[in-house]
A and B are shown apart, each in its own frame.
Chain A
């Protein structure tokens, strides 16, 4: 049974002052923007760190301020910020917060006060992480995976204060993610408006919903692993520390297992990549459907694929550990589960392609980003098949093949969806359109540039070039042409980085001076476009909540009077009601 959260009779508590409207806001839309702005700000820091890393890789030894310690610190902070503080925060805290209540027809999240707290906890976690740049010894340089024993021992940068602040920051982030996550899950389950059955929800909601379930189940593993490592670091416990002779000194640790940390970390870490990917899958489905004026092909299987991918994501983690020294027989199991998870993922790719087939394709900026997603996700996902197949992972593990793979699937394709989603929903958030020409420039430089960076990188991996190296001189098996390629990649990376400034400028300028958008410039069917005001006011729907009569994809319905039928448009004689659930379960509203 679904209920409306506020009946018509109950008054809405509207924020009145500047502080309660824009700072200490409990409105999901404001919180979403706060999350997004913070995520972009810290993401810019990580982007600049990547430019500095590429300085060293493209021109080794030229920039003396980048010594090995600094280099490894940049590698670590770049990775951690991008994966957790940018991608996870923006998909769940940014897109999740903004879209879920609007797309399911609710007035807000079910726990608005906790929702507000989640943002401030996230901001605190970001500040703690940034503080690690300024403590003695600097930030941790252990790699984003923070493997012990090295992460807490002399010989690795930031093994003093840096690793402590990193772990504390992660704990705070997990608190924030849990508070937000409880909101998203409960709102989807309990606050859908009348007629909005689960199988009428847009795929954006399904993607974010499933990702949130994964987050609630997986982040506790990181939490626990982080606390255990913190104890090893400050209290002398030996969860992960065996007997060690470090720099000639016998340390007091004994009996712990470094591989245990890896199991705990990757039990979180693999679902984490799906926490980033599933919202991207959902959003891109809606972008393609809207801009091709065509229902998403195979909606039911798309939902099942999201659920199955989410479930399977918990039984593949040790494919990150094939050469960790764990029991080799585990390799058989994890290679099998990893290659099985490729099947539902491939189905989703086919369905995006089949949605385009016989569509009415408008090559808007969001559509361009969506198409680019499918292409880059295809190559990123396909290279995962190499790494998942255990015996092929033996030569490729810890080489640039892995770096190329995870950048394609995490750093390129989901980021293209973030951009596409922002160009798409910006008119709803601000009431204005983003500039089309700047958008296309941003698109082309980003798409072509990231292909040029990461496609060749796979071949450095085939050579055997190891990752996380400050420099490569003196290795006979690495030809000088590989160094030239590194220089080319660095130059391309800077060009792509600069193009992002066009995006930021576009957002800032369009928010003030963009063309007025009207309430539904893309003529989309989903509920968020049917609000009485644009941007939506507090409470979203005015005095009367919407009622839903159809699924989210009634585009180009034969016989209808226009090429889209919003979800809250009642069935009438002329307009067909296209979705399968209503046809089958006549009269039911849950």
Chain B
């Protein structure tokens, strides 16, 4: 008997939970209200079935519990009933599938007037590329990816010269304009997911994937990587900032382009610091540590040398050569407060360590800072 009562309580409890709990869709900030509507249709149909099944069983268990002298019925089949059930179920399935496929057809066809942007995933950050004034994204080749060409743009392709490169981890978009996102990855699978927009798609190395949407509310929206990509998967943070077109244009114009970043190579570093700069790229340090102050999985190197940092155990230290060496050889021995302990140890020679430290010293806060475009 308890089981019958419990099944009824489960139904009642589930309904109460649904209406009283604080957890529901993240507020929608894009055009994809149809996704929410289709979900709600499915929710209602399946919800009714869920309630019906549990109440039916509860009633049957109560009404037909064993009692002395009662015998069960003998009913091997009931063809009429079974065909009705198949028919009704098929109708229910169609009621859910039809709107789903209609909305999906819209999802796979981006509007012709959508602007195009590229989102590039790598372990463990996102970067972005706009097509610039010519409206065409330049061609890319993964084999061209290097310290000075983090997007792997083909330097001989004139379309790529005016491409706007964004590596600060924040993507700005203009309000109410449809945008088609092209996704790719430099290394492993990632997934660019913005809960407020409802959209996501895997970024796959060697493949171009994508989706489209129209941001309909201004604001700052979290990006969460939604395909397991290794140790830093949960720290692969980014944000989309939606703003009026004028503010967006201002921001866009302030970003660097491929042409400009190509001009900024080399320059004023000593040979040792230059070696450190190349090591920082080659050994993957730049995947988590920015050099221009942008937040990342690890502390930024800008202004790091000589800074007073608070460690995870609440003690404070001044960042000097010894601390930097420890951080590279035994990273999790003394990490900065607020950062996850995910840095792998690096086995570097004394000379390589000196080069990195020399490079770090050049990244002073406020001084003519190294453009983040040199990845």
**Chain B residues with CB below 8 A from A256, complex form:** 206
Does A346 touch B at the CB level, under 8 Å?
A: yes
Does B286 touch A at the CB level, under 8 Å?
A: yes
Does B251 touch A at the CB level, under 8 Å?
A: no
Q: Are B228 and A143 in contact (CB under 8 A)?
A: yes
Q: Are B54 and A378 in contact (CB under 8 A)?
A: yes
**Chain A residues with CB below 8 A from B6, complex form:** 447-448
Q: Are B90 and A343 in contact (CB under 8 A)?
A: yes
Q: Mark B10-45, 1 if CB is under 8 A from A, else 0.
A: 100010010001111110000000110011001101
**Residues 346-385 of A contacting B (Cβ, < 8 Å):** 346-347, 349-350, 353-354, 356-363, 368, 371-372, 374-375, 378-379, 382-383, 385
The verdict on A357 contacting B64 (CB below 8 Å), with A325-B183, A391-B104, A557-B74 known, is: yes
**Chain A residues with CB below 8 A from B54, complex form:** 375, 378
**Chain A residues with CB below 8 A from B341, complex form:** 67-68
Nearest residue in B to A143 (C-beta to C-beta)?
Answer: B228
Question: Which stretch from B92-100, B320-328, B358-366 is at the chain A interface?
Answer: B92-100
The verdict on A398 contacting B191 (CB below 8 Å), with A294-B72, A353-B53 known, is: yes
**Chain A residues with CB below 8 A from B221, complex form:** 477
Q: Are A477 and B222 in contact (CB under 8 A)?
A: yes
Q: Are A358 and B73 in contact (CB under 8 A)?
A: yes
Does A245 touch B at the CB level, under 8 Å?
A: yes
Does A258 touch B at the CB level, under 8 Å?
A: yes
Q: Are B64 and A149 in contact (CB under 8 A)?
A: no
Q: Are B21 and A466 in contact (CB under 8 A)?
A: no
**Chain A residues with CB below 8 A from B14, complex form:** 455
Q: Mark A469-488, 1 if CB is under 8 A from B, else 0.
A: 11110111101011001000
Does B202 touch A at the CB level, under 8 Å?
A: yes
Does B218 touch A at the CB level, under 8 Å?
A: no
Expressed in whole angstroms, the Cα–Cα distance for A328 and B286 within the complex equals 34
Does B114 touch A at the CB level, under 8 Å?
A: no
Does B112 touch A at the CB level, under 8 Å?
A: no
Nearest residue in B to A468 (C-beta to C-beta)?
Answer: B228
Does A92 touch B at the CB level, under 8 Å?
A: no
Question: Which stretch from A110-118, A153-161, A500-508 is at the chain B interface?
Answer: A153-161
Does B254 touch A at the CB level, under 8 Å?
A: no
Expressed in whole angstroms, the Cα–Cα distance for A479 and B22 within the complex equals 9
Expressed in whole angstroms, the Cα–Cα distance for A588 and B17 within the complex equals 57
**Chain A residues with CB below 8 A from B96, complex form:** 339, 385, 389
Expressed in whole angstroms, the Cα–Cα distance for A295 and B196 within the complex equals 51
Does B253 touch A at the CB level, under 8 Å?
A: no
**Chain B residues with CB below 8 A from A389, complex form:** 38, 42, 96-97, 100
A163 to chain B, nearest CB (A): 13
A461 to chain B, nearest CB (A): 9
Does B136 touch A at the CB level, under 8 Å?
A: no
The contact of B101 among A335, A349, A580, by CB within 8 Å, is A335
Expressed in whole angstroms, the Cα–Cα distance for A385 and B226 within the complex equals 21
Question: Which stretch from A93-101, A264-272, A276-284, A298-306 is at the chain B interface?
Answer: A298-306
Q: Mark A555-584, 1 if CB is under 8 A from B, else 0.
A: 111100001000000000000001110000
Does A244 touch B at the CB level, under 8 Å?
A: yes
Q: Are A361 and B64 in contact (CB under 8 A)?
A: yes
**Chain A residues with CB below 8 A from B101, complex form:** 332, 335-336, 390-391
**Chain B residues with CB below 8 A from A589, complex form:** none
Nearest residue in B to A289 (C-beta to C-beta)?
Answer: B72
Nearest residue in A to B10 (C-beta to C-beta)?
Answer: A451
The contact of A68 among B71, B206, B342, by CB within 8 Å, is B342
Does A518 touch B at the CB level, under 8 Å?
A: no
Q: Are B97 and A325 in contact (CB under 8 A)?
A: no
| A interface, CB within 8 angstroms of B | 67-69, 72, 142-143, 147, 149-150, 153-157, 242-250, 255-259, 292-295, 297-301, 323-325, 328-329, 331-332, 335-336, 339-340, 342-343, 346-347, 349-350, 353-354, 356-363, 368, 371-372, 374-375, 378-379, 382-383, 385-386, 389-392, 394-399, 444, 447-448, 451, 455-456, 459-460, 462-464, 466, 468-472, 474-477, 479, 481-482, 485, 553, 555-558, 563, 578-580
Q: 11 A–B contact pairs at CB < 8 A?
A: A68-B231, A147-B227, A244-B186, A328-B108, A339-B97, A358-B64, A360-B66, A390-B104, A475-B224, A481-B23, A557-B74
| B interface, CB within 8 angstroms of A | 1-3, 6-7, 10, 14, 17, 21-26, 34-35, 38-39, 42-43, 45-46, 49-50, 53-54, 56-57, 60-61, 64-66, 70-78, 81-82, 85-86, 89-90, 93, 96-97, 100-101, 103-105, 107-108, 122-123, 142-143, 145, 183, 186-189, 191, 193, 195-196, 198-207, 209, 211, 220-222, 224-234, 237, 281-287, 332, 340-342, 344
Closest 4 CB pairs of A and B: A242-B206, A464-B195, A247-B284, A325-B209
